């Protein structure tokens, strides 16, 4: 199931617009913070689908009824671009375990590349809820490779994918290669994917904009 937050007008759209703006992008801290804020909103939306338990909370004047999250998810992200969104999710799921996966494109030509997963640090995820964050879903192949790498740590009960911008090709690829129970939360679905697999209008290279141009 795909949840496109751009389908509803909200403050989320302002954060997305700033994320795309070439002038605002000149401030890396603001770029990272906008990714973080978008992920915070997505964490809130995801929490609505999770299981809660009824509890009583003691206040200075008595007791109050409350509904508390039954269990925290495992938050997984793709290094390095996914780190700001990971932090946004962690701000809300603040007792969550974390997983980090290094995945990158290894180009043979400008248009041909393979996805390589080089490093992973993850807790066991068997029968747990997993939220995987990556700002851009261009072809979807990185996300599928990361999902398969995480399966070495167990079979999750529920999987959510969080991304700022996705191309239709990526969504089709993910739906084809991942279980149909996976939920995908995106900030926007852009219409074009170039021959080099860059999303248009997109926003550029999220990792470079957040942390500086890599060599």
Any idea what the CATH number is for the domain that residue 121 is in? 3.40.50.2020
Inside any domain, residue 130: yes
Inside any domain, residue 34: yes
CA pair distance 15, 67, nearest whole angstrom: 29
Phi and psi at 164, nearest 5°, equal -75, -50
pLDDT at 203 > cutoff 80: yes
Highest mean pLDDT: which range of 30-34, 102-106, 138-142: 30-34
Report the DSSP pairing between strands 97-107 and 113-121: antiparallel
Inside any domain, residue 61: no
pLDDT at 157 > cutoff 90: yes
Full residue range of the structural domain in which residue 88 is found: 2-50+72-211
Tell me, yes or no, if the pTM score tops 0.85: yes
* Dihedral over alpha carbons 206, 116, 215, 110 (to 10 degrees): -80
Residues 6+ apart with CB under 8 A from 79: 100, 101, 102, 103, 119
Inside any domain, residue 58: no
Inside any domain, residue 45: yes
- Residues 67-77 pLDDT 10s: 999 999 999 99
Q: What is the pLDDT of residue 178?
A: 96
Inside any domain, residue 62: no
Q: What is the pLDDT of residue 74?
A: 98
If one counts the domains in the chain, the total is: 1
Inside any domain, residue 65: no
Which carries the bigger pLDDT value, residue 215 or residue 10?
10
Inside any domain, residue 13: yes
Nearest Cα residue to 21 out of 31, 8, 9, 7 = 31
């Amino acid at each position: 199931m795909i949840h496109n937050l751009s389908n509803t007008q909200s403050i989320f759209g302002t954060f997305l617009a700033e994320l795309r703006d070439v002038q605002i992008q000149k401030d890396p801290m603001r770029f990272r913070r906008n990714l973080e804020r978008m992920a915070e909103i997505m964490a809130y939306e995801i929490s609505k689908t999770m299981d809660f338990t009824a509890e009583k909370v003691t206040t200075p004047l008595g007791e109050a009824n409350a509904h508390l999250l039954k269990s925290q998810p495992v938050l997984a992200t793709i290094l390095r671009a996914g780190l700001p969104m990971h932090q946004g999710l962690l701000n809300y799921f603040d007792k969550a375990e974390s997983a980090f996966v290094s995945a990158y494109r290894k180009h043979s030509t400008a248009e041909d590349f393979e996805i390589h997963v080089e490093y992973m640090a993850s807790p066991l995820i068997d029968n747990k809820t997993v939220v995987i964050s990556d700002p851009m879903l261009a072809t979807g192949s990185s996300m599928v490779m990361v999902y398969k790498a995480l399966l070495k740590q167990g079979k999750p009960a529920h999987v959510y994918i969080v991304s700022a911008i996705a191309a239709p090709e990526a969504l089709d690829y993910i739906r084809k290669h991942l279980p149909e129970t996976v939920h995908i939360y995106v900030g926007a679905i852009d219409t074009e994917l170039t021959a080099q697999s860059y999303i248009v209008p997109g926003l550029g290279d999220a990792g470079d904009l957040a942390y500086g141009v890599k060599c």
